[in-house]
Amino acid sequence: MEMRRLLVLFALLSVTAVVPVLFSRNKNGDPAEVVVVAPPFNASGVTVISWKPRIFLYKGFLSDDECDHLVKLGKEKMKRSMVADNESGKSVMSEVRTSSGMFLDKQQDTVVSTIEERIAAWTLLPEENAENIQILRYEHGQRYDPHFDYFHDKVNQLQGGHRYATVLMYLSTVEKGGETVFPNAEGWESQLKDDSFSDCAKKGLAVKAVKGDAVLFFNLQADGTPDPLSLHGSCSVIEGEKWSSPKWIHVRSYDDPSSMKQSEECSDLSENCAAWAASGECNNNAVYMIGTKDSPGQCQKSCNACSL
C-alpha cells in the first residue's frame, strides 16, 4: 500500500508543481512513512485577526498528511489534560479543562522536526525557547474554559520565563463547536458570525478549528508584561471531534538548564542591561527592566532591584 501511494505521488510530481515529501522514520527504526508536508513558511499566508491582543491566522500551515501524522503519534499516549495551579505551579486535574493530551519529544521524527522549524520561521523565535509540541483531543462536550498561557506562579517561570507566544495548530475540522475564543479581544463585537458558530464563540473573537490552519497569538505585551487581553478558551465540541496541537514559546531558552539557574538568582537576562541602566532605563522603563512582584524584569541586577 505504501509503495502504491509513493508511486502515485511521484506520478503527480511529474505533471504538477513540486510537492515536498518526507520519509518519516521514528527513533525505533520502524518502516518509513510517506508524508506530504506543507510548503516552507510564507508570510503571504498569514492574516491579522487582532492587534489587541496580537493574533494571526495562517491558513494551510500544516498539510493533511502532517495533521494525520501528529494525530497518529498522539493516539499512542493520551492522558487526561492537566492545568498549572496558580499558587504552587504544580500540574493538577481541573474541570476547567476536560480534554486529553500528551507531549511529543522534540525532533521526534523528521516530520516533527520540519514542523518545529516552520514554527520558528513564522514566530522568529528560537526553537530552544519552545516547549515540546503537545497533542490534544477534545471529544463531544469537552472544553477548556478561558485562561491565560502566561503563568501566575513563579515556579513555572524558572524554566524559560513566561510563555511569550502560543502557536495553536488545528489537526481536524470540527463540525460544530470547538472554536478558539478570545473574550477580552478589543472590538470582538464587530466580528460577523452566522449560525455555524456556537453560542460560546459568540462571546468573543472566535477562530474556527479547520484542519491544517494555525493561530499565533502573543501572551505578553511588547514591554514584556502579561497581556490580559490574551485570555482565551476552547469552546465545547458540539458535533465531531477536535484534535489540536499547541506549541508554547518562552521569553528565553527552555532547554538550557542554566536558564533555570539564572532565574533562581538575581541576574541580568541581557548583555545590554548595564548600558541600559546607566542611561536611566531603570526609571524610564521600570516594568521591563525591574519587573513586578509576579513578573521579574530583564535587568534586576543592574538596576539593584534583587530584593523585589
Residue with cell 499566508: 45
Q: Are 51 and 196 in a shared domain? A: yes
Q: Are 87 and 12 in a shared domain? A: no
Q: Which residues contact 293 (CB under 8 A, 6 or more apart)?
A: 308
DSSP, residue by residue, 48-112: EEEETTEEEEETTSS-HHHHHHHHHHHHTT-EE--EE-TTT--EE--TTB--EEEEPPTT-SHHH
Q: Which residues contact 179 (CB under 8 A, 6 or more apart)?
A: 197, 198, 200, 201, 206, 207, 208, 209, 234, 235
Q: What is the CATH number of the domain that holds 77?
A: 2.60.120.620
Residue with cell 515556579: 155
pTM for this prediction: 0.76
Phi and psi at residue 280, to the nearest 5°? 95, 10
The answer to whether residues 203 and 181 touch, using CB atoms and an 8 Å cutoff, is yes
Higher-confidence residue: 235 or 293? 235
For residue 103, is it within any domain?
yes
Q: Are 222 and 87 in a shared domain? A: yes
All three cell numbers of 55, joined, read 493574533
For residue 90, is it within any domain?
yes
Q: Are 32 and 147 in a shared domain? A: no
To the nearest whole number, what is the mean pLDDT of the chain?
A: 85
Instruction: Tell me the per-residue pLDDT of 78-109, one tens digit each, with 9 for 90 and over.
Output: 887 766 655 655 565 666 677 889 999 999 99
Parent domain of 28: 1-36
Alpha helices in the chain (DSSP H): 2-15, 64-75, 110-123, 257-264, 273-278, 281-284, 286-289
The answer to whether residues 238 and 103 touch, using CB atoms and an 8 Å cutoff, is no
- The number of domains in the chain is 3
All three cell numbers of 130, joined, read 519552545
Q: What is the pLDDT of residue 10?
A: 41
Higher-confidence residue: 84 or 300? 300
Instruction: Tell me the per-residue pLDDT of 113-159, one tens digit each, with 9 for 90 and over.
Output: 999 999 999 999 999 999 999 999 999 999 999 999 998 877 778 88
The answer to whether residues 219 and 123 touch, using CB atoms and an 8 Å cutoff, is no
Q: Are 65 and 199 in a shared domain? A: yes
Q: Are 300 and 154 in a shared domain? A: no
Give the integer Cα–Cα distance in Å for 21 and 14.
Answer: 13
The answer to whether residues 284 and 266 touch, using CB atoms and an 8 Å cutoff, is no
Q: Are 152 and 206 in a shared domain? A: yes
Q: Is residue 62 scored above 80 in pLDDT?
A: yes
Q: Are 73 and 193 in a shared domain? A: yes
E strand or H helix at 135, and its extent? Answer: strand 134-138
For residue 220, is it within any domain?
yes
Q: Are 216 and 246 in a shared domain? A: yes
Q: Are 233 and 270 in a shared domain? A: no
Q: Are 30 and 50 in a shared domain? A: no
Coil, strand or helix: which one is 234? Answer: strand
Alpha helices in 98-239 (DSSP H): 110-123
For residue 260, is it within any domain?
no
Q: Is residue 37 scored above 80 in pLDDT?
A: yes
> Residue 9 — very low, low, confident or very high, per pLDDT cuts 50/70/90?
very low
For residue 257, is it within any domain?
no
For residue 255, is it within any domain?
no
For residue 256, is it within any domain?
no
For residue 66, is it within any domain?
yes
Q: Are 152 and 61 in a shared domain? A: yes
Q: Is residue 198 scored above 70 in pLDDT?
A: yes
Instruction: Tell me the per-residue pLDDT of 201-247, one tens digit each, with 9 for 90 and over.
Output: 999 999 999 999 999 999 999 888 999 999 999 999 999 999 999 99
